[in-house]
Amino acid sequence: MYSLAFSILFVSFIILTLIVRFWLASRHIRHVLTHRGAVPAEFAEKIPLAAHQKAADYTVARTKFGLFTLLVNTLVLVGFTLLGGLQWLSIEVFKLTGGGMGYQLALLAAFALISGAIDLPFDYYKQFGLEQRFGFNKMTRGLFFADMAKGVLLGAAIGLPLVWVVLTLMEKSGDLWWFYAWLVWSGFQLLMMVLFPTVIAPLFNKFSPLEDQSLKSRIEGLMKRVGFASKGLFVMDGSKRSAHGNAYFSGFGANKRIVFFDTLLSRLQPQEIEAVLAHELGHFKLKHIIKRIAMMFAISLAFLALLGYLKSQMWFYTGLGVDPLLPPGQRNDAMALLLFMLALPVFTFLFSPLTSIGSRKHEFEADAFAAKHTDARDLVSALVKMYEDNASTLTPDPLHSAFYDSHPPASVRIRHLNAAPA
C-alpha cells in the first residue's frame, strides 16, 4: 500500500519537475530570442551586436541541449527504478560476485560505470559539438579521453574505499550508522578540500606561479589591504580545455592558493584582475565559504538521518522498483544508497531556488566588498568582458534566472556596482 503511494508520489514529482523545467526553459529561450535584435541600452557602447547575438544563440543552444539531456536522464532514472533496471543489475552482479561486500561494492561500481557510459555521448557532444560550434572548445579528442580515463581511475581510487567504509558502518555500527557515516563523509569533504588544490587538480592541469611582477605586487597589495594570507598565486593552463575564463581560490587554512585561468589573465587589464580577485576575497572575508560548508554539512546530516530511516522501510525499495529481499540473504545497503541518490534530486529540485537566492545575496555582498577595496568601475568593465567572452546572455528570462542562477543578471549587478559609493 505504502509502496504504491510512494511510487505515485515519485512519478508525480518527476512529472512536476519536467513541467517546471520545460516551462522555465521555453520562457528563457523566448525571452533571449525576443531581445536578440539589439544590445540592451546600458551595454550598447561596450558590447558589439555580433557578440550579443552569439550569446543569444549559445544560450538557446545550451538550453535546448539541457532539455534533451533532461529527457534522457529522466528515462534512465525510470528505467533504473520503476522499470526494474537496478533490480536486474543487482541480480546479475550477485551472480558474478557471489555476494558479500564484494557484491555491494561491485553493484555501486557497475552502476557508476553504466551511468558514466550513458553520459559519455552527451559529454562528447557538449564539448565537440556545442562548445566547438561557438569557438569555446580547446580540447583535443586525446585529452578528452585521457581526462575520462583519469576520472574513472581517480573515482575508483577515492570512491571505493569511501563507500567501503560507509557500507561497513551500515553493517556493523547499529542504528546510528548514519551519524557515523556523516562524520566520515564530513571528514572526507574536508580532506578533499586540502587534497584538491595540491594533489588532484595538478593531475589535470599545470599550475605555475604567477610571474608578472607588477600584477603580483598589485595583488599582494590588495591581499594586505583586506588581510588575506595565501600560500601563493598560480596560473592554470585552462586554455588547454576551454576558452572560458575564471579565477578562484581553493584550499583552506594555511593551504589557500589563488588560481587564475590563463584565459582570464590574457583578457583583463591588471586593475580588472585585481577587482575580480577582490570579489573572490570578499566571499572569503565575509565568511560565505565557511557558511556554505556549514550548510552543506547540516544538509548532509539531515539527509543521512532520513536515509537512516528509509533504509529499514520496505516501501522505500518496493516503491522504487526493487525487492529488498533480493538477492536472497544479501545486505541491501548499497541498494539503499543507490535508490536514495537517484530519488533525492527528484524531491529536492523544486527547492533549488532557495540555494539560488542565498547565493545571489552573497554575490551582491562580494561585489560590494570589491567596490569598497578596489574601483567598482574596474569590476564593471571586467564583468562586461567576461560576459562577452563567455557568451553569457545579458537578457535572461527573469523567472528562469531567479530559479536557477547562482549569480544575479549582469545588468542588475552592474547597476548595484555603479551605485556603490566610490
Which residues make up the interface to Zn ion (CB under 5 A)? 363, 366
DSSP string across 240-280 = GTBS---EEEE--GGG-EEEEEHHHHTTS-HHHHHHHHHHH
Is residue 286 helix, strand or coil?
coil
Closest CA to 207 of 231, 237, 244: 237
The residue (of 276 and 336) whose beta carbon lies closer to Zn ion is 276
The residue (of 363 and 388) whose beta carbon lies closer to Zn ion is 363
Q: How far is the CB of 103 from Zn ion (least distance, A)?
A: 44
Is residue 207 helix, strand or coil?
strand
Q: Which helix (H) or strand (E) holds 4?
A: helix 2-34
The residue (of 280 and 333) whose beta carbon lies closer to Zn ion is 280
23, 235, 243, 267, 282 from 138: Cα distances, Å: 33, 17, 7, 16, 31
Q: How far is the CB of 366 from Zn ion (least distance, A)?
A: 5
The residue (of 138 and 288) whose beta carbon lies closer to Zn ion is 288
Distance of CA 291 to the CA centre of its chain: 17
| Alpha-carbon gap, residue 412 to 27, rounded angstroms | 19
Q: How far is the CB of 275 from Zn ion (least distance, A)?
A: 12
Q: How far is the CB of 168 from Zn ion (least distance, A)?
A: 39
The residue (of 363 and 375) whose beta carbon lies closer to Zn ion is 363
| Alpha-carbon gap, residue 210 to 230, rounded angstroms | 13
Place of cell 565568511: 287
DSSP string across 10-75 = HHHHHHHHHHHHHHHHHHHHHHHHHTTTS--GGGTTTS-HHHHHHHHHHHHHHHHHHHHHHHHHHH
Q: How far is the CB of 84 from Zn ion (least distance, A)?
A: 44
| Alpha-carbon gap, residue 117 to 114, rounded angstroms | 5
* Bond prior to 327 in cis (omega within 30° of 0): yes
Instruction: Answer for the pair 276, 417: CB distance below 8 angstroms, yes or no.
Output: no
Q: How far is the CB of 363 from Zn ion (least distance, A)?
A: 5
The residue (of 282 and 327) whose beta carbon lies closer to Zn ion is 282
Q: How far is the CB of 367 from Zn ion (least distance, A)?
A: 8
Q: How far is the CB of 226 from Zn ion (least distance, A)?
A: 15
The residue (of 178 and 369) whose beta carbon lies closer to Zn ion is 369
Place of cell 528509509: 310
The residue (of 85 and 238) whose beta carbon lies closer to Zn ion is 238
Q: How far is the CB of 281 from Zn ion (least distance, A)?
A: 10
Q: What value, to the nearest 5°, has the Cα angle with vertex 44 and ends 38 and 49? A: 45
Task: Show the DSSP H helices in 286-348 as ranges.
Answer: 288-310, 314-318, 333-348
Q: How far is the CB of 105 from Zn ion (least distance, A)?
A: 39
Q: How far is the CB of 247 from Zn ion (least distance, A)?
A: 10
| Alpha-carbon gap, residue 184 to 387, rounded angstroms | 40
23, 175, 336, 352, 405 from 349: Cα distances, Å: 14, 29, 20, 5, 14
The residue (of 259 and 366) whose beta carbon lies closer to Zn ion is 366
The residue (of 90 and 381) whose beta carbon lies closer to Zn ion is 381
The residue (of 131 and 363) whose beta carbon lies closer to Zn ion is 363
| Alpha-carbon gap, residue 28 to 21, rounded angstroms | 10
| Alpha-carbon gap, residue 42 to 117, rounded angstroms | 45
